[in-house]
Structure 1
């Protein structure tokens, strides 16, 4: 009988790095071999605040929080505070609730018996990073040469952050230090695959020796006249950080080495559960909040845009009998699944549905023919993804327009990524490079209507107008800046 649940979120882990025969994730693959792998799992957002909120609440971002970081509005805070997350429900029912690894504070901290505390050493470094970031923002648009220098200072300050903040070896197994014999719910948030991809140099060199990292030089990329100064500055910064000017594949190898690092931590967590005789009574879920664009679509080593490199996420569960499911699932399905696995009867309403029928191979699953995602941080886009089509389109957003001057132009790359309306046939064009919107107006109209109907069907979660304030909000926003958010 399952008494405990652990959800491991590996930040920015791409779906195509797990279970694809790459050899990067032997520990995750071993769990899938005896459990269940979901090959069509999708994020609800390419940003952590809305994505993690969807995991915690089982609600679509438009119902709670769809902006990220400093852009989250008071209305969104009121909405999310009106919804009980997994951890609050379980704690009220007698489970001990614990978080280890990266922490985002604010509403994410609700309901946890143990939540990581701030580290004074990293706070000092965060202040340095924030200063460098402010300098970069102040001069980059008007003096690109000075902006490039400021960006290098910012990157150097970010890289000087204590490795333990992002690459703590015991961040997964530390969870078990905060529970006794009582049933527990644990959330582990690993940051290995989030920039700056801290990893062992031996792993990087081993991967490079496979000969599978030939992506061309920085100069090759700069032959593209369409790249903006911001994109060139970003790519130059990446190339310098990873000594990848001559071969950008070195940067990709660093990402993949970080995947290896995260997988080892998960392996140690499984070993610790077995040593404590808790493996059989614990359901382990492994996923990501979003993927990562490496060199695709003009988005370099970051997670914005709603292409599948970012929108698809891995999802593996220790329950099951070694099956791989092809049904469309999303992060909103995790909360009702946890309630089902643990037998929680007094549960809040969710937009998602339990994955238990797919795990148990029964007929109770309500088949999805589409999934939906919202992007509202660097740019404002929405996506509808069906088995054949990916529909992405821009919608106006006053919050982004006020903060960045535009909700269409990417605030990071200072360009418009693709067209305002894009349609991709993912069966014949899985890389999403050929916009078919002009040739398929009826498909565009149909998917546009489907998105509108989806929005209309979302439940309003609160009518409250009381202000919401978080004592740790300034600290959290500083930490996000130190991780590269601007």
Structure 2
């Protein structure tokens, strides 16, 4: 029987390797890393990423050809060794600590750009409640999403794991063999009650298969709701999915917040971990008809789609976006009021972030899901808890995978081993000059990797075209200039780092001897010499994106 399974796996892999997603590995194109150009890698990729996990385990344990050392990972490149986790809620509470534990609320807001925080448009605050939290809390100005589309970006926030697992588009499955340990998994072991409340249909991209873990006390999304849901016809991808799959659309954020308010208000001495996803700010930015709009004109009475709309209508569409954020802010204000009115409410840590950003043709196209241009990846991140966080503005390069370890540290809960992010507020954090952020996108619009340096240099590699582009967001915020030819050393350094990051990710997730014994890999680091090259002749000027409201209309947070 064993030889039959091996034969079937080999035949399937041979067919799958003909898929266009793997076609590039059979080329001699020098822009493709050598380790991806071998037929051995292509076969392994197909077997590993497309077949049953049992076959994957069997095939990856098979002896390899000689000369494939580039596919190996060293102990220094891997994460911490895996060890058995205690069953949920088995960590015994220390006497007197249950009430002392802080509760935490993490709210992911759809398409929330960094530059919306503190923004006043036409003299009116776009998100007054969130901006108030930012003023009295810590605002991160260089926070980067791990992807430009939600099905890759959202799981990173709660898991502290990069989204890149395979060279094909990845759909999550409850049977995925890879380790994960989400924020609420960790806190459940420390006697927290846990809840996930989302306005979106989490089956999009099979995110629910990743996010809905056994320890969750409550998992609520649009599929859980008996009332009406909303399917915007102009969001053609999601609308088509809902129609074909016969599933629910999205929820009014007011409903989601009401459910969350009801849950946290239940009498229970245990602290809570509340994770949320609010969706009104997803194109085409719907708000209830009964809700007054603040920013006008905002009526979208012209032909639009997620992929395009008339560029001369950008002010109208952007006003609709602002109105949606204003509506979300109203719901967040209602939630915060409830939190602060509860016992220990003033000790609760509140985190608000953007899962990805949003474009308004600054780089030639709208919405999100495209390459990692600044409006789509430089997202909002605010943490508020006056007892432990001073009012400050941090320009330390931060990734969304850093949210979980930073939150755990603020809660004084030991960090888990299965993570790729860091505590960005720790004294022993990496030097600011050496910080990097990695991005991976894979959908119908784009398939690319990106690496951002704290120096402002950003390198993006198109995995379909095999072309790399070098930008400098400090000198050229519109990312209109490709510096690859004028700064070849910078391009070479970032290309090497990005290629190595990609290699570590797909190699780890492709081999059971790695993911079965080790936690996910570490990201590659800059050498001192490379750091010096990146920081040479770099302006620290904070540029302004064209077409965005004037900086004079934007609050500068204290502590900068």
TM-score when normalising by structure 1: 0.70
The counterpart of 1:52, out of the listed 146, 154, 170, is: 154
- Asked if 1:107 corresponds to 2:210, the answer is yes
**Contact 2:293–2:323 (Cα < 8 Å) also in 1:** no
Do the aligned residues in 1 keep the contact of 2:236 with 2:306 (CA within 8 Å)? no
Compute the displacement of 1:263 (Å): 1.3
Deviation at 1:155, TM superposition (A): 12
Question: In structure 2, the residue corresponding to 1:6 is in which secondary structure?
Answer: strand
What's the counterpart of residue 281 of structure 1? 347
Task: Work out whether 1:89 is the aligned partner of 2:217.
Answer: no
Contact 1:50 1:65 (8 Å CA) reproduced: no
In the alignment, what sits opposite 1:141?
none
Give the CA deviation at 1:170.
3.8
Q: Name the SS of the counterpart of 1:172 in structure 2.
A: helix
The answer for the alignment partner of 2:381 in structure 1 is 315
What are the ranges of 5 or more consecutive residues in structure 2 without an aligned counterpart? 1-99, 203-207, 514-560
Residue 8 of structure 1 corresponds to 107
- Are 2:338 and 1:272 equivalent residues in the alignment? yes
User: Residue 260 of structure 1 is aligned with which of 311, 314, 326?
Assistant: 326
1:169 corresponds in structure 2 to 254
User: What is the alpha-carbon distance in structure 2 between the residues aligned to residue 293 and residue 353 of structure 1?
Assistant: 28
CA distance in 2, matches of 1:251, 1:264: 20
> Which string of whole-angstrom CA distances, capped at 9 and with x for unpartnered residues, describes residues 307-366 of structure 1?
001011100000311100010000111111222223323723321111343xxxxx3322
Runs of at least 5 residues in structure 1 that lack an aligned partner in the other structure: 135-150, 219-231, 240-244, 358-362, 396-406, 409-418, 466-486
Q: 1:46 to 1:167 in 2, by over 3 A?
A: same
Using the size of structure 2 for normalisation, the TM-score is 0.61
Q: Does 1:328 align with 2:397?
A: yes
For the pair shown, which has the larger CA radius of gyration, 1 or 2?
Answer: 2
What's the secondary structure of 2:345's corresponding residue? coil
Deviation at 1:270, TM superposition (A): 0.9
Secondary structure class of the residue paired with 1:59: coil
Residue 392 of structure 1 aligns to a residue whose secondary structure is strand
Q: 1:188 to 1:47 in 2, by over 3 A?
A: same
Q: Secondary structure of the residue that 1:382 maps to in structure 2?
A: strand
Equivalent residue number for residue 365 of structure 1:
429
Kindly tell me: are residues 129 and 235 of structure 1, through their superposed partners in 2, closer, same or farther at Cα, counting changes over 3 Å?
Answer: closer
Is contact 1:45–1:374 with CA below 8 Å preserved after alignment? yes
Instruction: Verify the 8 A CA contact 1:2 1:282 in the aligned structure 2.
Output: no
Matched-pair contact (CA < 8 Å) for 1:204–1:253: no
Aligned residue in 2 for 1:380: 447
Structure 2: how far apart are the matches of 1:125 and 1:92?
A: 36
Q: Which residue of 1 aligns with 2:278?
A: 190
Deviations 1:64-89 (A, max 9, x none): 5897xxx4257996255x21212222
- Deviation, 1:446, is 1.3
What CA distance in whole angstroms lies between the structure 2 residues aligned with 1:441 and 1:346?
A: 39
Equivalence for 1:389: 457
Matched residues, number: 388
| Counterpart selection for 1:18 from 102, 117, 127 | 117
Compare 23-32 and 436-445 and name the one that shifted more.
436-445
Using a 3 Å threshold, how does the CA distance of structure 1 residues 20 and 101 change in structure 2: closer, same or farther?
Answer: same
C-alpha distance in structure 2 between counterparts of 1:236 and 1:373, whole Å: 21
Aligned-partner Cα distance in 2 for 1:60–1:237: 29
Counterparts of 2:306 and 2:257, CA distance in 1? 32
Secondary structure of the residue that 2:276 maps to in structure 1? strand
Counterpart check, 1:178 vs 2:292? no
Structure 2 distance, partners of 1:155, 1:251, is 24
Answer 1 or 2: higher relative contact order, Cα 8 Å, separation at least 6.
1
